[in-house]
Amino acid sequence: MTGRDPALEARVNDPVLPGAQRLEALRQLAHRLAGELPDLASAGGESNNHVHTIYSFSPYTPAMAALRCRQAGLEVAGSVDHDSIAAAPEMRAACSILGLGAVTGCELRVSFKDGPHADRKINNPDSVGLAYMTIQALPAGSSARVEAFLEPIRARRRQRTRQMCEAASELLERAGMAPLDFEADVLSRSKAAEVGGLTERHLLAAVADRILATFGTGLPLIEALRSRLRIDLPAKPALLLAEEGNPYLVYDLLGVLKSGFLARIFIQPDEVECPRARDAVALALEVGAVPAYAYLGDVGESPTGDKKAERFEDAFLDELFEELVDIGFPAVTYMPPRNSAAQLLRVRKLCEDRGLMEISGVDINQPRQSFNCPELRKPEFRHLTDSTWALVAHERLASIDPRVALFSGQGPLASLPPRERISAYARAGRALDRGSPASDPEVLAALQKGRFTR
């Protein structure tokens, strides 16, 4: 007898329902699934701090993202939407219902053009001098300040996406298709009206739908991509697109468009949409969050099919890390499944030498991806689990008292070396009641008295 309930699952993942109704459906579903979910007491320490939701581009509401993490046997789930923190309240509540630790925040693009790597492609496939970073473990009381910082970024991105939509429409018309309507075909796919982010993927999904509506599936689709849109279609994605009854067809086509079409319509973002890295880091630290540079590394075969084989920051990584320290980054985030063992060990050594926190996560924005990160079970990367629990403690306890933020100069453990401080916060995180804030004041008091240090 299974506790699955398709109707409840649909409500949990309904992007139109208010978050409160999704959470109520999740409570009911979690009760039904109680005997079927993995045992957290014997979990292997896996977590995922880099899940996207409907508030950027993803098939998952925050409630469903948390449920998928729980079903995968994870202990902690974390949301980072592009230019938006709208998922945070629902993600925290969903994790509480499911007995998970929670880490919330956002991802954004920032400028390195005032530094030595202004003319280099850093970790952004589309731009030189611009890089991705995250702001994570956001204390609940800091949301208004961060939202004020993100609002003009989103507004400028909407303007640029509208212009790219016009450019895409011209190409579609030349290929015998109807043009796109920005509001109806692109903006309506996003949660922009609910302070969600708008991304290139929303635009490319609209393009994908237009192509499918015009040419259909299978061989006619593949022929149209190659002849009408002049897209070089490698064998592997072609096989996916040709698969009969492919439930992920739009996402697979979107990946092809991202690697083979986007460059023709892409407009470079400006300094309003991509503020200086220094300013974003300063804002994050000021509000008690954890800003992290997002390491990408040279890419061979992309796990998600949306990145070409390309070189990024590996060639100048030592110098880049010096700049990260100069800017004020206290942390680096990376995705273990994307990188080789040599890349991961190199990043770890650079972080250790410079006292930088390491944060892990797997970028989830399409349904083919696994929420798991088995690399975290390896002994050489178990410290990433401690980092995750330190973020959980930081987010919950700094929501009560901002002075206990992990990188606050006023924190009770500010005098400790970063690694020792992270270990102490990790112990505090594990001591929290995952399903209730009732234990938070007691754990906070213990942290302030140094009881989690050894």
Q: In the prediction, which pLDDT does 301 show? A: 56
Cα–Cα distance between 417 and 427 in angstroms, integer?
16
Percent of the chain clearing pLDDT 90 (strictly above): 90
Q: In the prediction, which pLDDT does 304 show? A: 44
Cα–Cα distance between 283 and 209 in angstroms, integer?
39
Cα-based angle 220, 222, 226 (whole degrees, multiple of 5): 115
| CA neighbor of 167 nearest in space, from 27, 263, 274, 296 | 263
Residue pair 306/369 in contact by the 8 Å Cβ criterion: no
Residue pair 269/275 in contact by the 8 Å Cβ criterion: no
Residue pair 336/360 in contact by the 8 Å Cβ criterion: yes
Beta-carbon contacts of 255 under 8 Å, excluding residues fewer than 6 positions away, are 237, 304, 305, 306, 366
What pTM was computed for the model? 0.95
> Which stretches of the chain score pLDDT less than 70?
1-2, 43, 301-308
CA 148 to chain centre: 20
**Structure confidence by residue, pLDDT tens digits, 367-411:** 999 999 888 888 888 899 999 999 999 999 999 999 999 999 988
Encoding tokens for residue 13? 């993942």
Helix pair 235-242, 249-260: axis angle to 10 deg:
150
Place of tokens 């993490």: 69
Q: In the prediction, which pLDDT does 43 show? A: 67
For residue 27, give the amino acid letter. R
User: What's the distance, Cα to Cα, between the start and end of the chain in Å?
Assistant: 47
Kindly calculate the radius of gyration of the chain based on its CA atoms and give it in whole angstroms: 22
Q: In the prediction, which pLDDT does 447 show? A: 96
Encoding tokens for residue 9? 């699952």
Bridge partners (DSSP) of residue 131 are 110
Q: In the prediction, which pLDDT does 303 show? A: 46
Distances (CA, A) of 138 to 364, 375, 408: 19, 25, 13
Residue 103, SS3? strand
Q: In the prediction, which pLDDT does 77 show? A: 97
**Torsion angle (degrees, nearest 10) of CA 354, 360, 365, 366:** 130
Q: In the prediction, which pLDDT does 308 show? A: 65
**Structure confidence by residue, pLDDT tens digits, 123-159:** 999 999 999 999 999 999 999 999 999 999 999 999 9
Encoding tokens for residue 255? 């990946």
Q: In the prediction, which pLDDT does 204 show? A: 98
Residue pair 224/253 in contact by the 8 Å Cβ criterion: no
